[in-house]
C-alpha cells in the first residue's frame, strides 16, 4: 500500500503541487451483544479509508475514499479542488514547517490482545455477566450486555518524506439492566472502555469478571 501512495504523491508533485499528505486507516472489529441471556447480534467488520490533502500554489484541496483502487482518482480530485480555489486563497507554503521529515512507528500492545482470545471466550464473558446480573436481584427483568473490540491501524505519508504508522486497540464493555418492582420501573447502565486497555479478558474456560464488571453495573440505579 505504501508504494502505491508514494507513487501518487510523486505524480502530484510533478504536476505542480507544493505539498501532499495522505492518511490511511484500517479498522477490524468484533461486536457482540446479548439480550436476556440470548445472543442477538454478532458482527465481524472491516473498514478502510483514505484522506488526501494537496497544496497547490496557495490553496488546499481535500478528497477521501474507502477503497485502495480509488486512491489515484482521489488524489487527482484533491489536486483539482486545490487548483479551483488557488486564486482566492491567502495560504502560502512558507506557513508549513517542513524543516525535517519524521519517520516513526507506534504500536500499542496490550498484555493480552483481543485478537488472541477466541470467540467462544468472548461469548462466555458476556454470558457470565448477563447471568450474574439476573442473579443480583429477582427484580431484574431485562439485561443487555454489549462487547466490542476494534483493531485500528493508521498511516501517514507526505511529500516531505515523513512516514508515521500507528496501531492500537479500542475495547468496550457495557451492561444495561432494567428492574421492576410493582409499578416502579428503573434502568441502570454502566460501561468501561479504553484504547489498548489491559482489561482482564483472560483465557479462562469460564471467564468470571463479576467483581470487575458486575459490581459497577448498578451504580447509576441501585435497587432498594
CATH of the structural domain 2-216, one choice from 3.40.50.1370, 3.30.2290.10, 2.30.30.100, 3.30.70.270: 3.30.2290.10
Between strands 19-35 and 38-56, the pairing is antiparallel
pLDDT in tens, 168-223: 988 899 999 999 988 888 998 888 887 754 444 443 333 333 333 333 333 333 33
- Please tell me the distance from the alpha carbon of residue 158 to that of residue 21, in angstroms, as a whole number: 4
Per residue in 29-62, pLDDT (tens digit) is: 999 999 999 999 999 999 999 999 999 988 899 9
pTM over 0.85: no
Span between the terminal Cα atoms of the chain, in Å: 58
Which DSSP letter does residue 58 get? T
Residue 99 has pLDDT above 70, yes or no: no
pLDDT in tens, 111-129: 788 888 899 999 998 999 9
The owner of cell 491501524 is 153
| Extents of the domains making up the chain | 2-216
Amino acid at each position: 500500500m505504501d508504494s502505491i501512495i508514494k507513487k501518487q504523491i510523486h505524480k502530484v508533485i510533478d504536476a505542480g503541487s507544493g505539498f501532499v499528505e495522505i492518511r490511511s486507516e484500517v479498522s477490524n472489529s468484533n461486536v457482540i451483544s446479548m439480550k436476556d441471556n440470548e445472543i442477538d447480534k454478532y458482527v465481524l467488520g472491516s473498514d478502510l479509508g483514505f484522506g488526501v490533502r494537496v497544496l497547490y500554489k496557495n490553496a488546499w484541496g481535500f478528497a477521501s475514499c474507502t477503497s485502495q483502487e480509488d486512491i489515484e482518482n482521489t488524489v487527482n480530485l484533491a489536486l483539482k479542488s486545490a487548483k479551483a480555489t488557488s486564486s482566492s486563497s491567502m495560504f502560502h507554503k512558507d506557513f508549513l514547517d517542513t524543516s525535517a521529515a519524521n519517520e516513526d512507528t507506534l504500536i500499542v500492545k496490550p498484555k493480552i490482545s483481543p485478537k488472541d482470545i477466541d470467540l467462544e471466550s468472548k461469548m462466555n464473558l458476556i454470558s457470565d455477566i448477563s447471568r450474574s446480573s439476573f442473579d443480583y436481584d429477582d427484580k431484574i427483568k431485562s439485561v443487555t450486555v454489549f462487547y466490542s473490540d476494534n483493531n485500528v491501524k493508521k498511516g501517514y505519508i507526505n511529500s516531505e518524506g515523513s512516514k508515521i504508522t500507528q496501531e492500537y486497540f479500542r475495547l468496550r464493555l457495557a451492561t444495561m439492566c432494567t428492574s421492576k418492582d410493582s409499578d416502579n420501573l428503573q434502568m441502570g447502565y454502566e460501561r468501561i472502555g479504553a484504547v489498548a486497555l489491559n482489561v482482564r479478558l483472560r483465557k479462562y474456560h469460564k471467564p468470571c469478571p463479576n467483581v470487575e464488571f458486575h459490581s459497577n453495573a448498578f451504580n447509576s440505579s441501585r435497587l432498594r
